[in-house]
Structure 1
């Protein structure tokens, strides 16, 4: 059981370590404040848990089986990614790269907005749904009840990633002195916005 659990956590680590839209959004939000970054993480992991529940009940199989449903969701997800990317690039262009928030100051972005951005980005990604369906069942022991075990694994997956991505938020916070420089902040906004934009375009045109 212990070896099985370590294998599952190892797989979760590899998944989280793979660069993707969620990673870029979390880093970008963390440029504003640790609070915004951490709430974005919570939103993203809520989406992970939701897809885990959907996979546990077998509903993601419908998405995988229906080309139309997948394509509709793919285009919607691409629009979300492109929207976040354009937003970041416009902010950098307008010179909206003011110093990062001091600790304890009123948040530039509401907590709900940060949480919603992470949740929306995850739920709008059809790959996350199909991946949950293919990933979680591999770690259900043969003699274990499938539904409760998959729900439990989905919860562990989400909680583990909260801790993992929380390290990203902490690391960006440690670099506040460097990031607070306007030109550095602007470049980071440009890089994160450009990556999100390219990821959105790739999702829109892929087969």
Structure 2
């Protein structure tokens, strides 16, 4: 595979990662509500999910999706449901007033606390349950096929895409865990959690509706 094709793919992936979306929402939510460590762990989860998708497509899951379109429909139903779950969590935090950063950070390093694992898991699941992530790798696979790329090339792109995700979303995590951002969140956490809930709700509803339409067709 030529370096020009590789560069083209990576520029497209990086632009998709930089643009606002579910991944950025998950990382910024973890960073604002929990601080730097949960934010970075959420970014690690996103990067892990990106690499898992590349591995799956290198082993031919794209052919499975092409042969069984119902699998993509199932992914839409599961993904839509998960995003609605995240929306309900954010809205519940908004309503009951549990978004205080201080209370979260007090428990952050408690042995019984699993906030770091929760942040990592959320970042991972947001990527793995997002049908658009699967479709992006379908496009990458098709581009590689047209450029006579190999399966190892897809793994290389996966590693690079995972690294770029860690850098991009890690920067988001650091930005949203700064003192200015945290203090603003402490003052307006109900509004912020409400916005997160609304955005996740819109994303989840759209994905779920698309999946239900596919079931009927």
For normalisation by structure 2, the TM-score amounts to 0.83
Report deviation, 1:92.
1.2
Residues 1-207 of structure 1 aligned to structure 2 (within 5 Å): 3-31=4-32, 32-100=34-102, 106=109, 109-138=114-143, 142=147, 146-174=150-178, 175-181=180-186, 183-206=187-210, 207=213
Deviations 1:150-187 (A, max 9, x none): 11111100111110111111111223453353x31221
Per the alignment, do residues 201 and 2 of structure 1 end up closer, same or farther by CA in structure 2, a change over 3 Å counting?
same
Mark the runs of 5 or more structure 1 residues left unpaired by the alignment. none
How many residue pairs were aligned?
205
**Conserved in 1, the CA contact under 8 Å of 2:46 and 2:126?**
yes
**Conserved in 2, the CA contact under 8 Å of 1:137 and 1:150?**
no
Deviations 1:33-72 (A, max 9, x none): 1111111111111111111111122212212332322111
**Conserved in 1, the CA contact under 8 Å of 2:14 and 2:161?**
no
**Conserved in 1, the CA contact under 8 Å of 2:62 and 2:138?**
yes
Structure 2 Cα separation of the partners of residues 203 and 29 of structure 1: 23
Which structure is higher in helix share? 2
Structure 1 Cα separation of the partners of residues 45 and 60 of structure 2: 23
- Greater shift, 34-43 or 63-72, is seen at 63-72
**Conserved in 2, the CA contact under 8 Å of 1:140 and 1:149?**
no
**Conserved in 2, the CA contact under 8 Å of 1:16 and 1:164?**
yes
Per the alignment, do residues 23 and 89 of structure 1 end up closer, same or farther by CA in structure 2, a change over 3 Å counting?
same
**Conserved in 2, the CA contact under 8 Å of 1:63 and 1:130?**
no
For normalisation by structure 1, the TM-score amounts to 0.87
Per the alignment, do residues 156 and 168 of structure 1 end up closer, same or farther by CA in structure 2, a change over 3 Å counting?
same
